[in-house]
Amino acid sequence: MEQVEAGFAELGLRAELLAALTNLGYEEPTPIQREAIPPLVEGNDLVGQAATGTGKTAAFALPLLQTLTARRREPEPVALVLVPTRELAEQVSQAVHRYGRDLGVRVLPVYGGQPIGRQLQALGRGVDVVVGTPGRVLDHIDRGTLQLGDVRTVVLDEADEMLDMGFADDIEAILAETPETRQTVLFSATMPPRIDSIARRHLREPVRITMGREPVAPGDLPLVRQSAYIVARPYRAAALGRILDVEAPSAAIVFCRTREEVDQVTETLNGRGYRAEALHGGMSQDQRDRTMGRLRAGTTELLVATDVAARGLDVEQLTHVINFNVPVAPEAYVHRIGRVGRAGREGCAITLAEPREQRMLKAIERLTGQRITLEKLPTVTDLRARRLELTRASLLASLEADDLERYRVVLDSLTGEFDVENIALAAVKLLHEAAGGDDDEEEIPTPAPPRERSPRNSRDRDRPPVRSSRGSSSDEGVARLFFGIGRRVGLRPQDLVGAIAGESGLSAREIGAIQITDRFSLVEVPESAADMVIEAMQRSFIRGRRPSVRRERFSR
Ligand code: AMP
C-alpha cells in the first residue's frame, strides 16, 4: 500500500489528490502519467501522443487540480478542457470531479444538445474547470456567459478528432480569448501535420511525449492464442462471464485496472458460480501468498488482479490471461500475457475492449508484431449449446466410471411405470439444471462499427451528426421516443443506450437526453433516425423484455 502511494507521490502530487487516487484504487501511474505529470506540474506546455485507454485524462486532470485553490470562490474558470464530443465532455468532467472531490472542485461540462439554461445557471454560480465541445464553448463566449480571462491552463484533448470534425477555426477563436501566459496542453492519438502546426503556433517550447515505441523481440513473446472482444462498457462483466463459460479455463488470471474493479469483478464471477479470488496491492503479503496457494492447489480457479499485485507472480498451470480492459500501455500487455504459454505450453490471451479502445489494440499489434483476432461474443444460443455439451461430458464421465449399480433400485422402481428413455431424459434434465442450467441470459449487443468521420463546416457543430438512410443534414431536430419499460425492472440509461446503439447502428453520442420513470422512459434521438430506431427496436430485447417503442405522443 505504501509502495502504491509512493508511485503517484513521486510525481509531486498534493495530498488531497493522492488520497483520491488511493480511494479509487489506482495503484500506480500509467506510463503517460509518469511522463506527463511532472512537466505539467512545473507549468510546461506539452504535446502528448496518447489514445483513449492510456490514462491520459488523469495525466492532464491531476496537474490542473494540483494548483487549484481548495474551495475557491471566484466565479471565472481557471482551466478549460476542449473535447470533440459530448460523451467525452461528460467523461472528462466526471474524472475531474472524482480526482478533485477533496478540493471541492467545481467542474462543468458544456456541450450542444443540452439545454443551455442549466449551463447558464451553473456558470452564474461560478466554476473552476469547464470541459466543453468547441461549438458550445464559443456560443457561451459570444453570449458573454463565459469569460476566459482567468484561465491558466487550456487542454486540447483528442485534438486530431476535433480537427476532423471541423473545429479548427473554433479552437483558434477560443484560444484567442485566453491569456497569452496560459499553459497549453495538447493530446492526440495521431500526429498529422495539422496538429503539429497548431502546436507550433499555440504552444511554447512544449515537452513532447510519445508512447509505445519500443518493438518487442519475437523471442520475448510467449506462444499464445490472442483474441479480443469489442464490448460496450455496461456489458463487460456479462461478456466476461460468458467468455469464461465457453472457454472453461482450468486456471486463469483476470487483469483489472483498479482495486475497485478487482472487487466488483470478483463478486460478479462468484455470483456466476466461479471460485474467484481477488488479488490487489491493498492486501498483505501473507494474504496474497495464501490466495496463490489456493490457486496452485486448484481450490481457486480464477484470480482477479491488478498489475501491481500480480507482479512477480509465477503460476505454472495458468491457461488463460484475460484482460478485463485493454492495458493502459502496450508494454503492460506483453508483460501480462507472458504469464501463460510458459515452457512451450499453449495458452490463451483474451482482451475485452470498448469500441473506442480499438486503437490501443492496434498499437499492441504494432508493438508485438502479432495479430489479435477479433472474435464475436458467444450468443445465448452458443452458450446453451456449450452447456449441453458440458452436461453430456459429465454424463459420459459418469458412464465410464462404472459405479452405477447402487442407483439401480431407483431405476427399477420406475421402469414399471415409465419408459427408460424418458427416465434417462429426466435424469439429464436434473443434472443440467443442477449445473446451472440455462439461466436467463440476455443478448449482449454488438457495438456499431466506428463511423467514418467527415469534416463539418456549419456553425452549429455540437449537434450530433446523424446516420440516416435518407441522408439528412446534421442541422435538424430531435425526436423523443417513448419506451414502455422503466425503473421497475431495474432499467438504467446504459441499457437503453446499449440497446439502441447495438440494434440501430446509431452511435452512443448521437443519442440525446434520457429520462427514466418507474414505468416508461423517454429517449431523444435525431429526428431523421427516429423511424429507423423504432423499427430496429422491434427486434430488440432490453433487460429480457421487448418493450413497445413509439414516438412520444405529446412531442412538439
Ligand atoms: P483514459 O485513457 O484517460 O480514458 O483512461 C482510461 C481508464 O483508465 C479510465 O477508466 C481511468 O479511470 C483508468 N485509469 C487511469 N489512470 C489509471 C491508473 N493509474 N490506474 C488504474 N486505472 C487508471
Q: Out of 188-202, 328-342, 479-493, pick the least confident.
A: 328-342
Instruction: Decide: 86 in ligand 1 pocket, CB within 6 A.
Output: no
Q: Which of 28, 49, 57 to mutate to test the pocket of ligand 1 (most atoms within 8 A of CB)?
A: 57
Does the structure show a pLDDT above 70 at 380?
A: yes
Q: Is a pLDDT exceeding 50 seen at residue 478? A: yes
Q: How confident is the model at residue 213 (pLDDT cuts 50, 70, 90)?
A: low
The pLDDT of residue 408 is above 80: yes
Is the CB–ligand 1 distance for residue 255 below 6 Å? no
CA-to-CA separations, 127 to 43, 72, 152, 368, in angstroms, rounded: 21, 9, 14, 45
Q: How far apart are CA 82 and CA 184, in angstroms?
A: 11
CB 527 within 8 A of CB 477: yes
Mean pLDDT of 49-70: 93
Q: Ligand 1 atom 9: the closest Cα is on which residue?
A: 55
For 469-551, CATH gives: 3.30.70.330
Q: At which residue does the C-alpha cell 489514445 appear?
A: 51
Q: Is the CB of 4 under 6 A from ligand 1?
A: no
pLDDT band at 552 (very low <50, low <70, confident <90, very high): confident
Kindly report, residue by residue over 24-43, the tens digit of the pLDDT.
Answer: 999 999 999 999 999 999 99
Question: Which of 457 and 172 is assigned the larger pLDDT?
Answer: 172
Looking from the CA of 374 toward its CB, the CA atoms found within 13 Å total 13
Residue having the nearest C-alpha atom to atom 13 of ligand 1 = 55
Work out the mean pLDDT of the chain and round it to a whole number.
85
Whether the pLDDT of residue 358 is over 80: the answer is yes
Q: Ligand 1, atom 12: nearest CA belongs to which residue?
A: 55
Residue in 26, 27, 37 to alter for ligand 1 test, most ligand atoms within 8 A of Cβ = 26
Binding site membership of 257 for ligand 1 (Cβ less than 6 Å): yes
Output the nine-digit C-alpha cell for 398.
459418469
Question: Coil, strand, or helix at residue 189?
Answer: coil
Q: Is 258 in the pocket of ligand 1 (CB under 6 A)?
A: yes
Residue 307 above 50 pLDDT? yes
Q: Atom 16, ligand 1: which residue's CA is nearest?
A: 55
Residue scoring higher pLDDT (116 or 375): 375
Residue 55 has a pLDDT of 92
pLDDT band, very low/low/confident/very high, at 537 (cuts 50, 70, 90) = confident
Q: Is the CB of 53 under 6 A from ligand 1?
A: yes
Cβ(306) to ligand 1 under 6 A? no
**Is residue 25 in contact with ligand 1, taking CB distance under 6 Å?**
no
Which of 141-145, 218-222, 524-528 is the least confident region? Answer: 218-222
> CA–CA separation, 387 vs 437, rounded Å?
7
Which of 526, 523, 509, 513 minimizes the C-alpha distance to 88?
Answer: 509
Query: CB atoms < 10 A from the CB of 297, how many?
Result: 8
Instruction: Find out whether the beta carbon of 29 lies less than 6 Å from any atom of ligand 1.
Output: yes
Each residue's pLDDT tens digit, 425-440: 999 999 988 877 666 6
Question: What amino acid is encoded at 138 in this protein?
Answer: L
pLDDT value at position 216?
67
26 Cβ inside 6 Å of ligand 1: yes
Higher pLDDT, 55 or 214: 55
* pLDDT for the residue 433: 85
Nearest to 26 by CA among 304, 306, 331: 306
Say if CB 510 and CB 464 are below 8 A apart.
yes
Q: Is 419 exposed, middle or buried (0-12, 13-18, 19+ CB in 10 A)?
A: exposed
Tell me how far the alpha carbon of residue 298 lies from the centroid of ligand 1, in angstroms: 32
Q: Decide if 2-211 and 469-551 have a common fold.
A: no
Q: What is the share, in percent, of the chain residues with pLDDT greater than 70? A: 89
- The ligand 1 atom nearest the CA atom of 51: 2
Contact 496, 523 (CB under 8 A): yes
Looking only at Cα atoms, what is the longest distance across the chain?
95
For the segment 148-165, the average pLDDT, to the nearest whole number, is 94
Any atom of ligand 1 within 6 Å of the Cβ of 58: yes
Task: Tell me the average pLDDT across 341-361.
Answer: 83
Higher-pLDDT residue of 381, 154: 154
pLDDT higher than 50, residue 453: no
Q: Residues 104-114: what's their mean pLDDT?
A: 91
Query: So what's the pLDDT on residue 410?
Result: 94
Q: Using DSSP bridges, classify how beta strands 224-230 and 373-374 pair: parallel, antiparallel or unpaired.
A: parallel
Are 235 and 284 spatial neighbours (Cβ–Cβ below 8 Å)? no
**Which is more confident, 556 or 374?**
374
* Residue among 28, 30, 64 to mutate when testing ligand 1 (max atoms within 8 A of CB): 30
At residue 369, the pLDDT reads 86
Of 257 and 463, the one with more pLDDT: 257
Is the minimum distance from the CB of 31 to ligand 1 under 6 angstroms? no
The answer on pLDDT for 535 being more than 80 is: yes
- In the numeric block, which cell numbers belong to residue 159? 485534438
Q: Cα(541)–Cα(96) distance, rounded to whole angstroms?
A: 35
| Number of neighbours of residue 194 by Cβ within 10 angstroms | 14
- Cα of 477 to ligand 1 centre, how many Å? 35
Out of 328, 336, 358, 360, mutate this one to test ligand 1's pocket (max ligand atoms within 8 Å of CB): namely: 328
Considering only residues 471 and 121, tell me which one the structure prediction assigns the higher pLDDT: 121
Overall CATH class of domain 2-211: alpha beta
- Look at 162 and 470; give whichever has higher pLDDT: 162
* pLDDT band with cut points at 50, 70 and 90 for residue 469: very low
- The 3-state DSSP class for residue 317 equals coil
Cα 55 to ligand 1 centroid, rounded to whole Å = 4
Q: What is the pLDDT of residue 316?
A: 74
The residue length of the chain stands at 556
How confident is residue 8, by pLDDT bands cut at 50, 70 and 90?
very high
Predicted confidence at residue 330, as pLDDT, reads 85
Cβ of residue 57 lying under 6 Å from some atom of ligand 1: yes
Residue 555: predicted pLDDT:
41
Q: Kind of pairing, strands 107-110 and 79-82?
A: unpaired
How far is C-alpha 494 from the geometric centre of its chain's CA atoms? 12
Whole-number Å distance, alpha carbon 400 to ligand 1 midpoint, is 51
Confidence of residue 463 (pLDDT cuts 50, 70, 90): very low
pLDDT at 386: 83
Q: Tell whether ligand 1 has an atom less than 6 A from the beta carbon of residue 52.
A: yes
Q: Which residue has the higher pLDDT, 411 or 317?
A: 411
Confidence at residue 439, expressed as pLDDT on a 0 to 100 scale: 66
Q: Which residues are CB-neighbours of 509 under 8 A, at least 6 positions away?
A: 85, 86, 87, 464
Query: Which of residues 376 and 315 earns the better pLDDT score?
Result: 376
Average pLDDT over residues 444-450: 69
Q: Is the pLDDT of residue 12 over 80?
A: yes
- The percentage of the chain sitting over the pLDDT mark of 90, rounded to a whole number, equals 47
Provide the residue ranges of all domains of the chain, joining segments of one domain with +: 2-211, 224-380, 469-551
DSSP output for 464-509: PP---TT---SS--EEEEEES--GGGT--HHHHHHHHHHHH---GG
554 has pLDDT over 60: no
CATH of 224-380, one of 3.40.1190.20, 3.20.170.30, 3.40.50.1860, 3.40.50.300: 3.40.50.300
Look at the alpha carbons of 52, 53, 54, 59 in this order and tell me if their dihedral is positive or negative: positive
CA 27 to ligand 1: nearest atom: 20
Digit-coded pLDDT (tens) for 479-495? 899 998 988 888 888 78
- Nearest atom within ligand 1 for CA of residue 328: 8
Residue whose CA is closest, atom 20 of ligand 1? Answer: 26
Ligand 1 touching residue 55 (CB < 6 A): yes
Nearest to 24 by CA among 329, 303, 257: 257
Smallest CA separation from ligand 1 atom 8, residue: 55
Q: What is the pLDDT of residue 472?
A: 33
